[in-house]
Structure 1
Amino acid sequence: MTDDAYLVLLDGPAGAWGVPPAAVGELACMGTPAVQGWLDAQGVTSSSPRLRLLPPEETSAIPEGAERLPVPLGDEELSRLRHRAAPQDVSRLEEELLAYRSSADGRQTLLARAAAAGVPAHRIAELSGEDLATIKASTS
């Protein structure tokens, strides 16, 4: 696994992985000379339907031979990307986890629901602001 997210240019339909960069919101990397040069070399713009952005933990999904470019994202940008890349039911739970930071009501139930839905413990900790060890202990 790499620490960078990846811009990927697909040969065919986008499928169900990655997200269009525009769906994540403004990304600092999109205005860099490296990204602009790569897009120009590929003959596409940042709004191309073939262009997808994947978080670091999903880079194994990149098809062999696909044109790709590692891009560093800030913490907030990476959090937005992960949220957009998550399945809709997981995205809803992630929104609840973010809201959880300011409220302890239903804490144990929400953490258990998130774990049962497949949200990884490290992501629950990141979104809820809870310590990772606490999350692991409360969801096992």
Structure 2
Amino acid sequence: MTDDAYLFLLDDAAVRLGVPPAAVGDLACMETPAVRAWLDAQGTTATAPELRLLPPEETGAVPGGAERLPVPLSDEELGRVRARTGPEAIARVEEQLLSYRDITDGRDELIGRALAAGVAPHRIVELTGEDPATVTAAAGG
């Protein structure tokens, strides 16, 4: 384990490893000449989707061939990074997914009430983000 966090570049921005530095807020290290030079040398920016940051205890997860740079973080900055990458962050998202399931359990009934009240199907689609076919099915046709 190292005392430094790591900035690194992923080959595939769709991979969910680490956290984009921009999502953590202002980080003093991002303004240092070393980080600026490294970003320039990589041909990327501080807001590039493939740029990621991991706290010291997770740097072993950085892919072997990935371009990487150790960066020091303050205790407060490190806390923000950990909040976005740790098991707590995953638990929060899973909790949100469960609450979404609870909301969708009564979806058809709500759509039916909206239709009965005279809300146009296209407006229901706009408001809920539901697929038009789902609204049509809830309308009974």
- TM class by smaller structure: 0.5 to 0.7
Task: Confirm or deny that 1:64 pairs with 2:59.
Answer: no
CA distance in 2, matches of 1:91, 1:66: 29
CA distance in 1, matches of 2:85, 2:47: 17
CA distance in 2, matches of 1:14, 1:6: 19
Match for residue 105 of structure 2? Answer: none
**CA distance 1:33–1:17, shift in 2 (3 Å):** same
Larger radius of gyration: 2
Q: Map 1:8-19; keep pairs closer than 5 Å.
A: 8-19=8-19
Amino acid at match of 1:12: D
**Structure 1-normalised TM-score?**
0.62
**Structure 2-normalised TM-score?**
0.61
CA deviation digits over 1:61-98, x for unaligned, max 9? 11111100000000000000000112435458xxxxxx
Match for residue 48 of structure 1? Answer: 48
Task: Confirm or deny that 1:83 pairs with 2:83.
Answer: yes
Structure 2 unaligned residues grouped into runs of 5+ = 94-141
Match for residue 7 of structure 2? Answer: 7
CA RMSD of the aligned region, Å? 1.5
Percent of pairs with identical residues: 68
